[in-house]
Amino acid sequence: MAEMKTDASTLSAEAGNFDRIGGELQGVIKGVEHTGSELASHWTGQAGSAAQSALQRFQEAGNAQIKALTDIHEKISQAGVQYQRANEEQASNLQSTAGNMGF
């Protein structure tokens, strides 16, 4: 497995990117829902039912994507916090060790 190098600010920025993408996707879904609701009264018969069914599948898939993006955002954010804590603990331990050695 390749070595990964990062820092807390990079993780925070990337988590923000996933959050932004999720927000943009929500906007697209709302736009499609709005268009679909405007056209719903014109949809009749089998074609209308098929269009409404397709719109429902689109909404479900979009909501699943938003949930996945939210989960990724949360996990990256948590990783950033944990990374920062570990970094601070290591720095503190190093300072303590150096102090004990008279440096």
Return phi, psi of residue 77, to 5°.
-60, -45
Q: What is the enclosing helix (H) or strand (E) of 23? A: helix 8-39
Q: Where are the domains of the chain?
A: 25-97
Residue 80's contacts (CB-CB under 8 Å, 6 or more residues apart) are 8, 11, 12, 15
Global pTM value:
0.74
**Amino acid identity at 67:** K
Cα–Cα dist 49/53, whole Å: 6
Nearest to 38 by CA among 52, 25, 24: 52
Beta strands in the chain (DSSP E): none
Q: What is the pLDDT along the chain (103 residues), one digit of tens a residue?
A: 677 777 888 888 999 999 999 999 999 999 999 999 998 888 889 998 999 999 999 999 999 999 999 999 999 999 888 888 887 888 788 888 877 777 6
Q: Does domain 25-97 have CATH number 3.40.50?
A: no
Cα–Cα dist 94/96, whole Å: 5
